[in-house]
Amino acid sequence: MERDQIIARNREEYGERYALLKFPTAEQAAAARARRDELLNALAGKAAIGCGGTKLDCNRLAPGCAICVAGAWSCLFINGKCNCTCFYCPSEQEQIGRPITNSLEFPEPQDYVDYIATFGFRGVSFSGGEPLLTPERTLSYLKAVKKRFGGVVHTWLYTNGTLLTGEILGQLRDAGLDEIRFDIGATDYHLTKAASAVAMIPTVTVEIPAVPEEKEQLRVKIREMAAQGIAHLNLHQLRLTPYSFDKFQGRGYTFLHGEKVTVLESELTALELLRDSLAGDIDLPINYCSFVYKNRCQAQAARRRNGPFVKKEHEALSTAGYIRSLALTGSPEGLQRRCRDFEQHGAAAGMWNLSRAKDRLFFHPDLVHLVAVDEQELRVSYAEAAQRAAVSYRNPFTEVRINGGRKIIIERRAVCNETTLTGGKAMDFLHNLRNGGDFSQFSAIQPYEVLKEGLQDYF
């Protein structure tokens, strides 16, 4: 997406209030990029940068984070109500509601367990709201997951800690909770509750946004966390939402255009804290979880998880997780000759398909070595697969039955116009497809083949 398009979408999201946001000038953006480059250079050789340059330090990720990176995490929002009022909360948290994930409600623990099994998740987290506002509900889902999967599925809980007691900690431990994560920003950065969990839960993590005005306090807290046995610190990039807009005002932040509006100083604060921790040899792994990591990589994981349920046998998933469809178009005679070539080389029937009109020959990427685009044209298209609570009837779909009484809808949606390639351009694309080459010369195709790399641009 071009800058002008990104800015237009950000402007549309905030309407008249957009004018109240301070974005960097070209000079300020250049200075900020230089500062970020300086920090990244200082981290080179010390911090492992992963996920296409969007996440660091990847040397010792929390177990749940490693599962997220692998694309095997399901987050169940066990309720929608919170008892704290953090300024950075992205949405209203006023209703208990039903347990929900990916817009799918799971009123019954057994249905959720069957969902985890059907889609092959290896990690489950319980979030909210505040999960400990409904402790019985939270425990019932945790117990159901552990009863079914045991140690095969890693479980963790997000909490602000205000309602945590020794009794509840014991119940979580006995139910098999593997990891607990504390948002200490909700409690003025007190570590008492997090420290109390160290002896009870195998992994204790602190997970908070990198709030720029708390940088000096966090430097002190990082040493305290290490001393008290906290295993990991996750720092998120602050993101603005229409809900949190008013609470962000007056804080002096510089905002960044992007897939969503984020805070420049938050990213620099996280990188500074990571640099200082490694330079000070503090034994507390810190993970900076940028917004672009979450927006790109978690969406990629969802596409790759859902795609196999709706793709055809002659289609394949791109690295970015989109369903890629390849087809030759041309005269029926020429396409039929290509079909005979496939047959003579022993290509399985499902790997290719000639349309009823015999004017379009679909083929799997594994057959690329048998394809020469001479008098024909190569047509390339992409679609994404997403889970839905109900059929929209706007796109093709399939029903995935997770048990006798519950099914999940997976919908297939085209994400771009079909691209037509001919001659050498078509052969270059097929060569890159077969050999893992560079798609940069195919500007209309590249975003659907590979994820954009690096942290977000500053503008």
Q: Give residue-wise pLDDT tens across range 332-370.
A: 999 999 999 999 999 998 999 999 999 999 999 999 999
Pairing of strands 55-56, 104-105: unpaired
Domain boundaries, the chain: 3-289, 308-449
Q: Mean pLDDT throughout 130-145?
A: 99
Which residues share a beta bridge with 411?
386, 397
Instruction: Find the range with the poorest average confidence among 90-99, 136-145, 332-341.
Output: 332-341
How much is the pLDDT for 267?
Answer: 99
CB atoms within 10 A of CB 266: 25
How much is the pLDDT for 36?
Answer: 99
Instruction: Find the range with the poorest average confidence among 115-119, 160-164, 233-237, 355-359.
Output: 355-359
Pairing of strands 154-159, 179-182: parallel
Residues in the chain: 459
How much is the pLDDT for 226?
Answer: 98
What's the per-residue H, E or C state across the chain?
Answer: CCHHHHHHHHHHHHHHHHHHCCCCCHHHHHHHHHHHHHHHHHHCCCCCEECCCCEECCCCCCHHHHHHHCCCEEEEECCEECCCCCCCCCCCCEECCCCEECCEECCCHHHHHHHHHHHCCCEEEEECCCHHHCHHHHHHHHHHHHHHHHHHCEEEEEECCCCCCHHHHHHHHHHCCCEEEECHHHHCCCCHHHHHHCCCCCEEEEEEECCHHHHHHHHHHHHHHHHHCCCEEEEECCECCCCCHHHHCCCCCCEECCCCCEEHHHHHHHHHHHHHHHHCCCCCCEEEECHHHHHHHHHHHHHHHHHHHCCCCCCEECCCCCEEEEEEECCHHHHHHHHHHHHHCCCCHHHEEECCCCCEEEECHHHHHHCCCCCCEEEEEEEEEEEECCCCCCCCEEEEEEECCEEEEEEEEECCCCEEECHHHHHHHHHHHHHCCCCCCCCCCHHHHCCCCCCCCCC
- Band (234; pLDDT cuts 50, 70, 90): very high
CATH homologous superfamily for the domain 3-289: Aldolase class I (3.20.20.70)
Is pLDDT of 283 > 90? yes
Q: Omega of the bond prior to 57 within 30 degrees of 0, cis? A: yes
Is pLDDT of 411 > 90? yes
- Band (1; pLDDT cuts 50, 70, 90): confident
Is pLDDT of 61 > 80? yes
Whole-number Å distance between alpha carbons of 258 and 271? 19
How much is the pLDDT for 372?
Answer: 85
Whole-number Å distance between alpha carbons of 408 and 400? 5
Handedness of CA 57, 59, 63, 68 (dihedral sign): positive
Which residues share a beta bridge with 73?
123
Q: Which two tokens stand for residue 103?
A: 């817009």
Calculate what percentage of the chain has a pLDDT beyond 90.
Answer: 97
How much is the pLDDT for 437?
Answer: 78
Inter-residue contact 390 to 401 (CB < 8 Å):
no
Inter-residue contact 111 to 402 (CB < 8 Å):
yes
Handedness of CA 245, 247, 252, 256 (dihedral sign): negative
Which residues share a beta bridge with 413?
384
Q: Which two tokens stand for residue 221?
A: 């807290």
Residue 141: what residue type? Y
Is pLDDT of 436 > 90? no
Q: Which two tokens stand for residue 13?
A: 């999201």
**Which candidate, 319, 294, 327, 321, places its Cα nearest to that of 307?**
321
Q: Give residue-wise pLDDT tens across range 386-399.
A: 999 999 999 999 99
Instruction: Provide the mean pLDDT of the chain.
Output: 97
How much is the pLDDT for 349?
Answer: 87
Q: Give residue-wise pLDDT tens across range 183-216.
A: 999 999 999 999 999 999 999 999 999 999 999 9
**Which candidate, 136, 140, 142, 209, places its Cα nearest to that of 180?**
142
Q: Give residue-wise pLDDT tens across range 152-193.
A: 999 999 999 999 999 999 999 999 999 999 999 999 999 999
Calculate what percentage of the chain has a pLDDT beyond 70.
Answer: 100
Whole-number Å distance between alpha carbons of 269 and 275? 10
Rg of the Cα atoms in the chain? 25
Q: Omega of the bond prior to 129 within 30 degrees of 0, cis? A: yes
- Band (20; pLDDT cuts 50, 70, 90): very high
Whole-number Å distance between alpha carbons of 143 and 147? 6
How much is the pLDDT for 150?
Answer: 98
- Band (373; pLDDT cuts 50, 70, 90): confident
